Amino acid sequence: MPEIKVENVSKLIEGKPIVNNVSMEIPDKSFFCILGPPRSGKTMLMRLIAGLEMPDKGRILFDGEDVTALGPVERRVAIAFQDFALYPHLTAFDNIASPLKAMKLPKDEIRRKVLEVARYLKIEHRLTHYPSELSGGEKQRVAIARALVKDAEVILLDEPLVRLDYKIREDMRAELYKIQKEIGKNVILITGDPFEAMSLGERIAVMNEGRIVQLGTMEDIYERPVNVFVGRYFGVVEMNIFDGEIVKMNDVASLRTKIFEIPLKNARNLPEGSVKIGLRPEHMSVLELAGKREVNFRGKIVLTEVVGSDTIVHIDAGLGELLRVSVPAIYRRQIGEEIDVGFDIENLYIFSSKDEKLLARGGDLIG
Partner 1 sequence: MSWKKILGFIGLAIYGVWTLGPYYLTVITSFKKLTDVFSIPPKIIPYADFVPTLEAYQRIFSTRAAWTFVTSLIVATIATIIAIIVGLLAAYGFSRFSNAPMNDERSFFILLTLRMLPPFAVVLPIVTYWVFMGLIDTYFALIWTYTIFSIPLAVWLIKGFIDEIPRSVEDAAVADGYGFGARFRKIIIPLLGAGLAATVALVWLFLWNEFLFALKVAGGKVITYTAYLPQLRLGQRTLWNVYAAMGTLGSIPPLIILAAFRRYIIRLYLGGR
**Options 82-90, 196-204, 208-216, 264-272: segment touching partner 1 (CB under 8 A):** 82-90
Among 243, 309, 238, residue whose Cα is nearest residue 276: 243
Rounded to whole angstroms, how far apart are CA atoms 15 and 26? 28
Burial class of 329 by CB neighbour count within 10 A (0 to 12, 13 to 18, 19+): exposed
Q: In angstroms, what is the minimal distance from the CB of 29 to partner 1?
A: 21
Question: How does DSSP classify residue 96?
Answer: H
Taking residues 103 to 122 in sequence order and writing x for each that binds partner 1 by CB under 8 A, - otherwise, the string is x-------------------
Under the binding rule (CB under 8 A), the answer on residue 73 touching partner 1 is yes
- What is the contact mask toward partner 1 in residues 156 to 195, using x (rule: CB under 8 A)? ----------------------------------------
Of the candidate residues 25, 87, 107, 174, the single one contacting partner 1 (CB under 8 A): 87
Considering only residues 8 through 47, tell me which ones interact with partner 1, judged by CB under 8 A: 13-14, 47
Q: How many residues bind partner 1 (CB under 8 A)?
A: 25
Residue 85 interacts with partner 1 (CB under 8 A): yes or no: yes
Q: Write the DSSP assignment of 306-354 as a string of letters.
A: EETTEEEEEEE-SSSS-EEEEESS-----TT-EEEEEE-GGG-EEEETT
- Nearby residues of 105 by Cβ (< 8 Å), 6 or more positions away: 113
For partner 1, give the closer residue by CB, 138 or 364. Answer: 138
Pairing mode of beta strands 284-286, 273-279: unpaired
Please report whether residue 69 would count as binding partner 1 according to CB under 8 A: no
Looking at residues 242 to 271 of the shown chain, list those that interact with partner 1 (rule: CB under 8 A): none
Query: Could you say whether residue 102 binds partner 1 (CB under 8 A)?
Result: yes
Q: Residue 81 interacts with partner 1 (CB under 8 A)?
A: yes
Q: How far apart are CA 169 and CA 347, in angstroms?
A: 31
Distance in angstroms (rounded) separating the CA atoms of residues 216 and 204: 6
Nearer to partner 1, 86 or 348 (CB): 86
C-beta of 83: minimal distance to partner 1 in Å?
A: 5
